[in-house]
């Protein structure tokens, strides 16, 4: 009879071993790498993975010649194992042996060669079962005897012995784990180990075959298993706390012959040297980044900086940081930090490319393919963590972020190769997932780490944008400069032609000049249309948002009035109050449309005398909702007004773009107090200064902020057209805009723009 009370132990069935092998190891390539990692921990210098007789895989036994059964051998020249190690450690899964070793050595498990050991959980041995059912292990330590172990995993899982024709399935008894025995012996004369020490693992009765493509993938995975070969100068810049292991060689053999079937001989070292952008950095546990940036474009450029990714005064918004560590206070509309990073320090080196313009970077076909097939790898203590860096593994979600935010904020996953280095000592929470695929997110540490890394990649992209901007700046010139250059060159050409008195050539030249002028005029007309449409689109977008919000509010108020009037309980004073609110709201809508109307193209083209002060007042009223909502004080200082004879909507468009920029940076990066925008109009100097108390403009970005599509705004709000349009409009009537960078000339501590008007327009 069953007892009412007692104690009992777990007694697993033997098939648990095969289940663990299937569940803990994701695939056969990961399985081989896990076995090779054991060789690494054993201080092996050389490991050979040998595939034999694969052409007979899957054939009936009667069709396989004796001695030609398919099998895999993994042979190393490491420290080897004694029979006691095999019996007391290898045959005892989840052994605490390495954990004890770790505690004895002060949390860092070093081998005799001072490699940091990778194994800890004691489950990597199940990788052999992932590959095949019959296992033979031979191992020998220096001056020791050869230890031999044979394991038949077929005994562990009787399911494999059953088929549709097996009788008595219901009565079939499965073995318990402690009922299955494995053969072992100590060999006085070595059977397999010819070296003085090492281990051989032979795997037979293979569970899967191996194709040529899979062997190529395996070969590539071996290249990336230990720290990559990168230029020596880059290793010095990294200044890693560990010595990268160089004396670990992994080879593949097919039936005794070397397998060297890689698609290219391109190496990381080679593509690193041709990268136009290089970014080397260190992020500490507080989120402080310290980096060095190098560009080979336009005469080369070097930049270095250090700042907090979480709390900085740069004119950048890092969306991964914002979404991970902050949330918006519903009352104040300010971002409030809600968590600190749980990950530790990490270092990195990133190489950036632009494969969209591969001809420009002179990338060869095999180099291009290599870059596309590799991305950002993660290494712990010098050994790779899978699957980060595998083709198609966009673990930093760069593709997703480019589509959801704005493509220009991030490198494409195909344009970036990198190596991230973490250590067990600094990142105790970043542990391997049990299936050896990825890192567990303990207490959110991995997501914290990833957010900081994505932000670092974005900082690199912002630096590279400056260098791309240099190239773009050289190509760009205002249309008036093009026209001026065309006329000068033509006049020089005419002077030379007149000396030879060739009328037909002169006529042809004049005809060509007229065609060229017509072409430039048409391009000028089209450019103005595009600029006008872009500016109008921004204004309409803002106005429609405000208008729809207000109309919804008005609709709710009218519904409330209707319900109360039907019930006969609407006091007269309440009705008057609501009607007054509706009157104010209607006037607000009228004001919005009054500002938008001059922005339509037909209005812009009709020139009239325009007061800058009046236009500035209109724009402040236009942005009244945003200014009030974000606690920003906007004021006009005018010693003498400036009046221009231009299209009535052009000055509005200029001021709207400047105001929109200023509000964005003040609310996202400005101080909590003293939020101001100042428009200073000085008719005696023919100047307008537009200043704010935002974060200001990085000096390195100043030459490029007026380029089209150059922006440091975050997400979909950043089009990179606002300041470009402002400059192009000012060019139309010989005015100019510049950034005031001198502290003594600024009127506010943030961004200060100075617009200088031509006297001819006054």
> Do 731 and 629 share a structural domain?
yes
Backbone φ and ψ of 548, nearest 5°:
-65, -40
Backbone φ and ψ of 411, nearest 5°:
-65, 150
Of 27-31, 142-146, 244-248, 510-514, give the range with the top mean pLDDT: 142-146
**Region 145-163 average pLDDT:** 77
65-107 confidence digits (pLDDT tens): 988 999 999 999 999 999 999 998 888 876 665 555 555 555 5
The pLDDT value recorded for residue 542 is 46
Q: Residue 80's domain spans which residues?
A: 16-210
Number of C-beta neighbours around residue 132 at 10 A: 20
Query: Distance between CA atoms of 755 and 616, rounded to whole angstroms?
Result: 14
Last residue of a domain, one of 160, 176, 210: 210
Retrieve residue 378's tokens.
Answer: 């993660």
539-562 confidence digits (pLDDT tens): 455 455 445 545 555 565 666 667
Retrieve residue 558's tokens.
Answer: 């009218």
Of 22-31, 190-199, 560-569, 669-678, give the range with the top mean pLDDT: 190-199
**Region 665-692 average pLDDT:** 89
SS3 for 541? Answer: helix
Give the side-chain half-sphere CA count within 13 A for 109.
Answer: 17
716-756 confidence digits (pLDDT tens): 455 556 787 788 778 777 888 999 988 889 999 899 999 99
pTM, 2 dp: 0.66
Higher pLDDT pick, 172 / 35: 35
In angstroms, how far is CA 224 from the centroid of its own chain? 20
> Do 618 and 741 share a structural domain?
yes
465-503 confidence digits (pLDDT tens): 878 765 554 545 445 555 566 667 666 766 666 666 667
Measured N-to-C along each axis, helices 503-567 and 650-669 cross at an angle, to the nearest 10 degrees, of 60
Measured N-to-C along each axis, helices 212-225 and 28-41 cross at an angle, to the nearest 10 degrees, of 30
Last residue of a domain, one of 602, 623, 655: 602
- Is 725:478 a contact under the CB 8 Å cutoff? no
The pLDDT value recorded for residue 709 is 63
Range of weakest confidence among 139-143, 406-410, 515-519, 562-566: 515-519
> Do 153 and 67 share a structural domain?
yes
Q: Is residue 674 part of a domain?
A: yes
CA distances from 275 to 75, 297, 313, 349, 364 (A): 38, 10, 30, 12, 12
Range of weakest confidence among 66-75, 353-362, 710-719: 710-719
Higher pLDDT pick, 201 / 759: 201
Query: Distance between CA atoms of 557 and 580, rounded to whole angstroms?
Result: 12
> Do 407 and 277 share a structural domain?
yes
The pLDDT value recorded for residue 760 is 56
229-280 confidence digits (pLDDT tens): 888 899 889 988 777 777 889 999 999 999 876 556 788 888 888 899 999 9
Q: Is residue 743 part of a domain?
A: yes
Buried-state track 427-441, b at ≥16 Cβ within 10 A, e below 16: bebbbbeeebbbbeb
Q: How would residue 47 be classed by pLDDT, with cut points 50, 70 and 90?
A: very high
The pLDDT value recorded for residue 149 is 95
> Do 549 and 504 share a structural domain?
yes
In angstroms, how far is CA 411 from the centroid of its own chain? 7
CA distances from 244 to 41, 218, 230, 374 (A): 14, 22, 11, 20
Q: What is the mean pLDDT of the chain?
A: 79
The pLDDT value recorded for residue 292 is 95
Q: Is residue 499 part of a domain?
A: yes
Asked if the model's pLDDT at residue 160 lies above 80, the reply is no
The pLDDT value recorded for residue 166 is 46
The order of strands in the sheet holding 183-187 is 183-187, 146-152, 132-140, 198-206, 71-76, 46-52, 249-254, 257-258
Range of weakest confidence among 554-558, 662-666, 710-714: 554-558
> Do 513 and 422 share a structural domain?
no
Retrieve residue 256's tokens.
Answer: 């005794």
**Region 103-126 average pLDDT:** 68
Could you give the number of structural domains in the chain? 4
SS3 for 89? Answer: helix
Q: Is residue 463 part of a domain?
A: yes
* Look-up of token digits 């502290």: 743
Higher pLDDT pick, 616 / 734: 616
Last residue of a domain, one of 422, 444, 475: 475
The pLDDT value recorded for residue 255 is 93
**Region 52-60 average pLDDT:** 91
The pLDDT value recorded for residue 164 is 41
Q: How would residue 669 be classed by pLDDT, with cut points 50, 70 and 90?
A: confident
> Do 159 and 26 share a structural domain?
yes
Pairing of strands 46-52, 249-254: parallel
Q: Is residue 263 part of a domain?
A: no
> Do 713 and 595 share a structural domain?
no
Query: Distance between CA atoms of 439 and 424, rounded to whole angstroms?
Result: 12
Q: Is residue 6 part of a domain?
A: no
Q: What angle do CA 726, 633, 739 make, to 5 degrees?
A: 35
Higher pLDDT pick, 715 / 190: 190
> Do 192 and 175 share a structural domain?
yes
Q: How would residue 366 be classed by pLDDT, with cut points 50, 70 and 90?
A: confident
The pLDDT value recorded for residue 752 is 95
279-338 confidence digits (pLDDT tens): 999 999 999 999 999 998 866 889 999 999 998 877 677 889 989 999 988 887 778 899
The pLDDT value recorded for residue 470 is 56
Q: How would residue 436 be classed by pLDDT, with cut points 50, 70 and 90?
A: low
> Do 482 and 410 share a structural domain?
no
Retrieve residue 207's tokens.
Answer: 């569970």
Q: Is residue 237 part of a domain?
A: no
Q: From 628, 612, 623, select the one nearest 689 (Cα to Cα).
A: 612
CATH number of the domain residue 52 falls in: 3.30.565.10
Q: How would residue 604 be classed by pLDDT, with cut points 50, 70 and 90?
A: very low
Asked if the model's pLDDT at residue 599 lies above 50, the reply is no
Q: Report the percent of the chain where pLDDT is more than 90.
A: 28
- Is 234:278 a contact under the CB 8 Å cutoff? yes
The pLDDT value recorded for residue 332 is 76
Of 20-34, 112-126, 184-198, give the range with the top mean pLDDT: 184-198
> Do 448 and 536 share a structural domain?
no
Burial tier of 39 (Cβ tally within 10 Å: 0-12, 13-18, 19+): buried
Asked if the model's pLDDT at residue 122 lies above 80, the reply is no
Q: Is residue 678 part of a domain?
A: yes
The pLDDT value recorded for residue 704 is 75
509-522 confidence digits (pLDDT tens): 777 666 666 666 65
> Do 482 and 471 share a structural domain?
no
The pLDDT value recorded for residue 501 is 66
Number of C-beta neighbours around residue 313 at 10 A: 12
Q: How would residue 44 be classed by pLDDT, with cut points 50, 70 and 90?
A: very high
């Amino acid at each position: 009879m069953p007892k009412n009370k007692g104690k009992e132990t777990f007694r697993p069935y033997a098939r648990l071993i095969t289940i663990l092998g299937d569940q803990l190891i994701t695939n056969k390539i990961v399985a081989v790498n896990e076995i090779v990692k054991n060789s690494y921990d054993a201080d092996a210098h050389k490991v050979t993975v040998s595939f034999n007789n694969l052409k007979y895989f899957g054939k009936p036994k009667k069709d396989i010649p004796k001695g030609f059964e398919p099998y895999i051998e993994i042979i190393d020249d490491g420290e080897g194992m004694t029979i006691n190690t095999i019996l007391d450690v290898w045959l005892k899964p989840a052994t605490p042996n390495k954990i004890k070793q770790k505690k004895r050595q002060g949390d860092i498990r070093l081998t005799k060669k001072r490699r940091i050991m990778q194994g800890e959980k004691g489950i990597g041995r199940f990788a052999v079962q992932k590959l095949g059912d019959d296992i033979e292990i031979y191992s020998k330590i220096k001056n020791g005897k050869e230890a031999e172990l044979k394991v038949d995993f077929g005994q562990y899982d009787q399911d494999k012995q059953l088929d549709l024709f097996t009788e008595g399935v219901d009565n079939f008894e499965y073995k318990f784990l402690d009922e299955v025995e494995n053969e072992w012996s100590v060999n006085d004369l070595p059977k397999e180990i010819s070296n003085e020490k090492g281990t051989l693992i032979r795997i037979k009765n293979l569970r899967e075959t191996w194709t040529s493509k899979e062997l190529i993938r395996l070969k590539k995975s071996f290249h990336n298993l230990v720290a990559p070969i990168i230029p020596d100068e880059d290793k010095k810049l990294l200044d890693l706390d560990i010595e990268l292991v160089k004396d670990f060689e992994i080879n593949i053999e097919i039936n005794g012959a070397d397998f060297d079937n890689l698609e290219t001989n391109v190496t990381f070292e080679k593509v690193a040297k041709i990268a136009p952008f290089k970014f080397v950095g260190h992020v500490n546990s507080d989120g402080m980044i310290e980096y060095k940036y190098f560009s080979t474009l336009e005469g080369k450029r070097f930049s270095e900086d250090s700042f907090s990714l979480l709390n900085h005064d740069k004119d950048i918004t890092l969306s991964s940081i914002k979404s991970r560590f902050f949330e918006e206070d519903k009352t104040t509309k300010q971002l409030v930090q809600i968590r600190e990073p749980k990950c530790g320090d990490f270092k990195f080196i990133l190489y950036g490319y632009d494969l969209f313009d591969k001809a420009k970077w002179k990338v060869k076909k095999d180099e291009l393919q290599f870059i596309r097939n590799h991305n950002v790898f993660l290494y712990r203590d010098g050994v790779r963590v899978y699957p980060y860096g595998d083709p198609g593994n966009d673990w930093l979600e760069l593709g997703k972020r480019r589509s959801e935010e704005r493509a220009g904020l991030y490198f494409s996953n195909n344009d970036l190769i990198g190596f991230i280095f973490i250590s067990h000592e600094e990142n105790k929470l970043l542990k391997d997932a049990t299936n050896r695929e990825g890192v567990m997110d303990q207490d959110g540490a991995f997501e914290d780490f990833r957010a900081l890394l994505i932000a670092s990649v974005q900082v690199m992209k912002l630096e590279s944008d400056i260098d791309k901007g240099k190239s773009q700046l050289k190509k760009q010139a205002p249309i008036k400069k093009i026209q001026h250059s065309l006329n000068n060159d033509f006049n020089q050409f005419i002077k030379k032609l007149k000396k030879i008195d060739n009328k037909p050539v002169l006529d042809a030249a004049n005809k060509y000049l007229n065609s060229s002028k017509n072409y430039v005029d048409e391009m000028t007309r089209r450019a103005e249309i595009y600029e006008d449409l872009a500016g109008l689109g921004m204004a309409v977008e803002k106005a429609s948002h405000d208008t729809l919000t207000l109309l919804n509010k008005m609709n709710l108020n009218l519904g409330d009035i209707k319900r109360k009037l039907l019930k006969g309980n609407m006091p007269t004073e309440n009705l008057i109050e609501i009607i007054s609110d509706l009157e104010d709201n209607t006037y607000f809508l009228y004001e919005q449309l009054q500002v938008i109307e001059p922005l339509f193209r037909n209005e812009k083209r009709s020139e009239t005398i325009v007061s800058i002060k009046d236009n500035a007042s209109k724009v402040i009223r236009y942005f009244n909702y945003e200014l009030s909502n974000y606690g920003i004080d906007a004021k006009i200082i005018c010693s003498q007004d400036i009046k221009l004879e231009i299209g009535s909507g052009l000055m509005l468009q200029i001021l709207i773009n400047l105001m929109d920029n200023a509000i964005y940076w003040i609310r996202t990066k400005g101080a909590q107090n003293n939020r101001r925008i100042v428009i200073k109009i000085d008719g005696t100097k023919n100047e307008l200064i537009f200043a704010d108390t935002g974060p200001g403009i990085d000096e390195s970005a100043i030459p490029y902020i007026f380029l089209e599509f150059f922006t440091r705004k975050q997400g979909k709000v950043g089009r990179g057209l606002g300041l470009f349009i402002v400059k192009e409009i000012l060019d139309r009537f010989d005015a100019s805009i510049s950034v005031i960078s001198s502290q003594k000339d600024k009127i506010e501590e943030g961004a200060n723009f100075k617009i200088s008007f031509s006297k001819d327009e006054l």
